[in-house]
């Protein structure tokens, strides 16, 4: 039980650490210009992917399925991130 809570804390700390990168970049350059809502959306997306993989690790017993499902979650994370960042697919999410 304690080990599972430790993994949850690591996931949430990782999300905060990853969100710290664009915040820090905003302090030194005008090239990065995130609003509060950008940080909220990024936090939700990152936390959702991390917690989704954590749920898979806890609930799925077959290792091949764990790897496959976590890979799908991470691919979805990357595709959503790219779409929100540059609108590669031209969906309404990217403002197109």
Q: For 41-68, what is each residue's pLDDT tens digit?
A: 999 999 999 999 999 999 999 999 999 9
3-class DSSP assignment, residue 57: helix
Do residues 95 and 87 make contact, with C-beta atoms less than 8 angstroms apart?
yes
Higher pLDDT: 85 or 73? It is: 73
Cα separation, 27 vs 47, whole angstroms: 24
Distances (CA, A) of 54 to 1, 10, 17, 22, 42: 13, 11, 18, 25, 18
Q: How many CA atoms lie within 13 A of 5 on its CB side?
A: 2
Residue 77 has pLDDT above 70, yes or no: yes
Higher pLDDT: 35 or 87? It is: 35
**What's this model's pTM, rounded to 2 decimal places?**
0.85
Residue 83 has pLDDT above 90, yes or no: no
E strand map for the chain: none
């Amino acid at each position: 039980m304690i080990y599972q809570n430790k993994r949850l804390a690591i996931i949430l700390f990782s999300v905060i650490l990853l969100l710290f990168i664009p915040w820090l970049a905003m302090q030194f350059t005008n090239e990065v210009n995130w609003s509060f809502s950008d940080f909220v959306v990024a936090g939700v997306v990152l936390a959702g992917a991390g917690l989704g993989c954590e749920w898979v690790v806890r609930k799925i017993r077959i290792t091949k399925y764990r790897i496959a499902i976590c890979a799908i979650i991470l691919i979805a994370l990357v595709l959503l991130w790219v779409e929100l960042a540059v609108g590669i697919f031209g969906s309404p999410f990217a403002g197109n």
